[in-house]
Amino acid sequence: MNANVESDNVVKTGTTTIGMKIKDGVILATDQRATMNNLIANSHVQKVYPLADNLGMTISGLVGDAQLMVRYMQSQISIYTMQKGAPMSVQTAATLMGSVIRQGFYLGPILAGYDRTGGHVFSVDGAGGVIEDDYTSSGSGSITAYGALETLYKPDMTKKEGIDVAIAGLNAARRRDNYTGDGMLILYIGPKGYEWVPQEDIKARCEELGFKYPN
């Protein structure tokens, strides 16, 4: 499905997604709710994906468009790596995604990763604009998440500190945005590649911070 789809009978991620640059890499975090108009269509949606050992992306928008974008990016990055004999840089991957999204994808992705110049986080808009920042958020709950990020984010955070800020941002969004909720996924990407934060660790940290999980 593309950006011209107006029907309410399509599955959308609604969502809150977060990308942050930290001391030794980047953090990508999302909730897990998908909606169809006012209906919760699914409570276990994957909205953050590794694209390569050093790259990842979050998705918001139409689920069909998002899944197609993930597959396309994974295949193009693999081809690039085989041809060049080196990983694709984060800037190159973000530029590639920006050029593709202009074809008519209804998406608001975040692309982040780690390369020889360090960690980088890029937001990509529907017109193909690519903007690098220390932290960013997309989706229906992003305004609320930004409040937590503006308050808690600081440069050169440790991995543990970054995870705490991501959890706080997602928690703030799920409390005020109907389209955000049903769990959290957190991906860390650093010098040794990507690493999922285990669900049991997220649940334990939510409890320590005084947040309910998943809702």
By annotation, the residues acting in catalysis are 15
Distances (CA, A) of 199 to 110, 138, 167, 203, 205: 22, 22, 12, 6, 10
Q: Which residue has tokens 């005084």? A: 210
Closest CA to 124 of 134, 136, 113, 116: 136
Give 85's DSSP letter. S
Characterise 163 by phi-psi region: left (phi > 0), alpha (psi -120 to 50), beta (else): alpha
The CA distance from 134 to 43, in Å, is 29
The CA distance from 145 to 101, in Å, is 24
